Amino acid sequence: MELSKINGFGESTRKLFSEIGIETVEQFLEYYPYRYEFLSPSPILQHDEKVIQVINVVIESDAQVSYIRRNFNRLRFHAKFQNQLLKVSIFNRAFLKPNLKVGKEITLIGKYQEKTNQFIANDIKVNAILIPKIIPIYHLMKGIKNANIEKWMKTAITLPITIYDRIPLAFQELYQFIPKLEALKFLHFPKNAEEIKSAKLRFIYEELFEFMFQVLFLKETETSSNGLKRKFNKQLVYDFIDSLPFSLTHDQLEAIQDGLQDLESDKRMNRLLLGDVGSGKTIVASILMYANVLSGYQSVMMAPTEILATQHYLSLLKLFDHFSLHVELFVGSMKQSEKKKVLEKIETGQVDIVIGTHALLNDHVNFFNLGFVVTDEQHRFGVNQRKNLQNKGYRSDVLYLSATPIPRTYALTIYGDMDTSVIKTKPKGRKEIITQVKKESELKEVLKHVYEEIKNGHQIYVVAPLIEEGEMDELKDINLLKEKFTLAFRDKFKMDILHGKMKSKEKENVMKSFEIGETKLLISTTVIEVGVDVKNATMMIIFNAERFGLATLHQLRGRVGRNDLQSYCYLISNQDIERLHVLEESNDGFYISEKDFELRGQGDLFGVQQSGDMSFHLADLKRDYKILLQAKKDASSYLKSKDYLNSDYYLALTSKINFTN
């Protein structure tokens, strides 16, 4: 049902909700509160300034309004709570003044400051003394108040809509879940904490069951569909491996063997190559792309950024220099004339391997005979994006690369639609990166070390969390850091900045200068987090390190230590954050991911909902892992029983997730 059916839901509001994927009344009802305020009036005044409390008072003086600045006012009056006279202040509520009469009983919600005997209210209920109540709190958008959403929800729940229960009846009965409509009422209009708890449990299971059904259905579809059974000269592949100027690790060789078996099989490859930073996933993918080309098909690799795509392209040109393979780059910032030439070569089969970004997903990109797709940093692309590229070939095999090591048990569950290869060992000769947490007061010591490394011919990364100054003054802006480092070293060597808002050509020039060793110190945002490979870089300095999760910090640290030189990482933070010391203890990404998952949950591991695969409203993979395992077991039995063929909802769902040719 259209959102316009909700009384008061105008076009501008509809557009706001449309931007976050809410187009219907049914979807709006799944816009759940993220927390609740339990508003029961307190009989006593708590003297803890951090505690939000609710008190019933009697107004003792006329309300006065003062204007602090334009569009910012303060309303003040005196009120009596029990036998205590309080000063009351509330901001930007001047419109309440006519309702605040001496002798009137009202309810205040806010915090009490004992030193000034002042109650700072964030809300005032003037029409009636508040009875015990639970207020759902929603994430808000520009111009929309919490009260608006509450009002719209009350209308939405009464409309004659079709609500699909995504939990099959057998499991509803087995776990004695409350009906879905009742659960929606419990979440949006709860009478007590028990109603919230029972509704949340029901929806968490529903989300995880549906997710695991999709994962398992995809796996069954992928493995059962016919793949390209290739024939190629394996000896040529082994000769290529022998020609490399370095030895592959045992894990790399095993991953290559897994991939070669997939290519020779008539089942479609759907494999995740999970490896720590610097473990050598790209060379594994390159060898498999070479094997695919030997069998007569084109290969493509999609990377999340132009910096990484360009780096892969240059690496492959060098790698295949003596093997007469035609490699091309295709990214969005290329001139139209350049794109046209590359597109023609791709379509006519003149290109063996294409490296690019999401620009490859464009409808104008047509392959001659695409047989093998590599998606680098696969969690950065949603399922639809990955499938879009795969479907540009006929029965193409797919290899997903991820340098985001997550706990193996979680990987096997959430990536259950893929076969998994893991690279744990790092290439021979790599030394452990020495990591230290430092306060800003110790920065002088770090700067001395920077100068020593540069004098020894090495290079430095510096990471700042912001591009421009924000509201939080303590954060180190990238330009401010450039000024500070320039002041410290007084132009003794070349330094530069890099961030995502720069034009592609600017970024390319900055990276090229750093790669060839002209730029000695690069101050960057997290745009360098993934894949950037400058072997001469031996130090990483990360400011405001407390703002990042351990997985992200480990990714950033992985930009150094990519050779046999001793490398260092400094985490600069004035906050005593215990979890930062985990990075001092270990260079093992899998251990760190376990700790990160333990401390932070799924959010930092998978990016800020970038994947399109983790869009849970209520479920949390860390907190609800036991429910996830049960949902996986139930979804598997439901899939095998074929009962979903009798469900309109799951039949519709399978038609949407079957992206294969």
pLDDT above 70 coverage of the chain, percent? 88
Query: Which of 92, 115, 131 delimits the end of a domain?
Result: 131
Question: 247 and 104 in one domain?
Answer: no
- Predicted local confidence at residue 613, as pLDDT: 41
Range 110-125 average pLDDT? 91
Q: Return the sign of the alpha-carbon dihedral for residues 276, 280, 286, 292.
A: negative
Residue 117 domain boundaries: 41-131
Same structural domain, 471 and 550: yes
**Which one-letter amino acid corresponds to residue 27?**
Q
395 and 467 fall within a common domain: no
Report whether pLDDT(77) > 50. yes
Question: In this predicted model, which residue has the larger pLDDT, 37 or 114?
Answer: 114
**Would you state the pLDDT for residue 131?**
65
> What are the pLDDT digits (tens) for 532-550?
678 899 999 999 898 888 8
Q: Is residue 525 included in any domain, yes or no?
A: yes
Mean pLDDT of 78-98: 93
Q: Which range is least confidently modeled, 3-7, 9-13, 274-278, 533-537?
A: 274-278
* 53: CATH: 2.40.50.140
Kindly indicate the confidence band of residue 260, based on its pLDDT and cuts at 50, 70 and 90: very high
Q: 457-507 pLDDT, tens per residue?
A: 999 999 987 554 443 444 557 888 888 899 999 889 999 998 877 887 888
pLDDT tens figures, 434-447: 999 999 899 999 99
The model carries a pTM of 0.61
Q: Work out whether the CA dihedral 430, 434, 440, 441 comes out positive or negative.
A: negative
Where among 541, 557, 586 does a domain terminate?
586
Phi and psi (nearest 5°) for 371? -125, -15
Q: Is residue 530 scored above 80 in pLDDT?
A: no
Predicted pLDDT at 606:
37
> Is the model more confident about 617 or about 39?
617
The verdict on residue 298 lying in a domain is yes
Torsion from C-alpha of 85, 90, 95, 100, nearest 10 degrees: -10
Strand partners, 522: 461, 496
- 524 and 581 share one domain: yes
Determine the pLDDT at residue 634.
96
Same domain, 515 and 417: no
Query: For residue 471, with 0-12 CB atoms within 10 Å meaning exposed, 13-18 middle and 19 or more buried, which class applies?
Result: exposed
Alpha helices of 298-355 — where are they, by DSSP H? 306-319, 336-347
Say yes or no: 581 and 440 in one domain. Answer: yes
Among 51-55, 75-79, 218-222, which range has the highest average pLDDT? 75-79
Q: What is the pLDDT of residue 485?
A: 92
Nearest to 453 by CA among 486, 489, 427: 489
* DSSP run (H or E) holding 385: helix 383-390
CA 370 from centroid of its chain's CA atoms? 30
Average pLDDT of 557-569? 90
pLDDT of residue 168: 94
pLDDT digits 0-9 by tens, 163-179: 888 999 999 999 999 99
- Residue 81 in any domain: the answer is yes
Q: Among the listed ranges 151-155, 463-467, 601-605, which one has the minimum average pLDDT value?
A: 601-605
Residues 408 and 451 in one domain: no
515 and 547 in a common domain: yes
Rg over CA atoms, the chain: 29
Quick one: pLDDT band at residue 239, thresholds 50, 70, 90? very high
Evaluate whether residue 546 is within a structural domain: yes
What value does the mean pLDDT take over residues 140-163?
A: 88
What pLDDT score was predicted for residue 660? 42
Q: Which of 14-28, 73-87, 253-267, 471-485 has the lowest mean pLDDT?
A: 471-485
Tell me, yes or no, whether 542 lies in a domain: yes
pLDDT number for residue 379: 47
| CB-CB neighbours of 40 under 10 Å | 12
Whether the per-residue pLDDT at 103 is higher than 60: the answer is yes
Total domain count for the chain? 3
* DSSP character string of 192-239: SHHHHHHHHHHHHHHHHHHHHHHHHHHHHHHHHSB-------HHHHHH
pLDDT of amino acid 605: 38
The Cα–Cα gap between 190 and 198 comes to: 11
Q: Return the pLDDT at 209.
A: 94
CATH number at residue 459: 3.40.50.300
444-452 long-range Cβ contacts below 8 angstroms, 24+ apart: 446/541, 446/570, 446/572, 447/488, 447/489, 449/539, 449/568, 449/570, 450/489, 450/521, 450/539, 450/541, 451/489, 451/492
Assess whether 419 and 448 both reside in one domain: no
Least confident of 149-153, 409-413, 423-427, 453-457: 409-413
Looking at the fold, whether 543 and 572 belong to one and the same domain comes out as: yes
Contact at 8 Å (CB) between 167 and 62? no
Strands (E), 488-625: 495-498, 521-524, 537-543, 568-572
Q: Assess whether 327 and 300 both reside in one domain.
A: yes
pLDDT confidence bin for 132, thresholds 50/70/90 = low
pLDDT at site 589:
81
Asked whether 4 and 27 are in contact (CB, 8 A), the reply is: no
Point out which residues pair with 270 in neighbouring strands: 398
32, part of any domain: no
pLDDT in tens, 331-380: 988 999 999 999 999 999 999 999 998 889 888 899 999 999 998 865 44
Report how far residue 162's alpha carbon sits from residue 365's, in angstroms, rounded to the nearest whole number.
40
Asked if residue 578 is part of any domain, the answer here is: yes
Judge whether 463 lies within some domain: yes
Whether the CB-CB separation of 76 and 64 falls below 8 Å is answered with yes
Q: Exposed, middle or buried, 270 (CB in 10 Å: 0-12/13-18/19+)?
A: buried
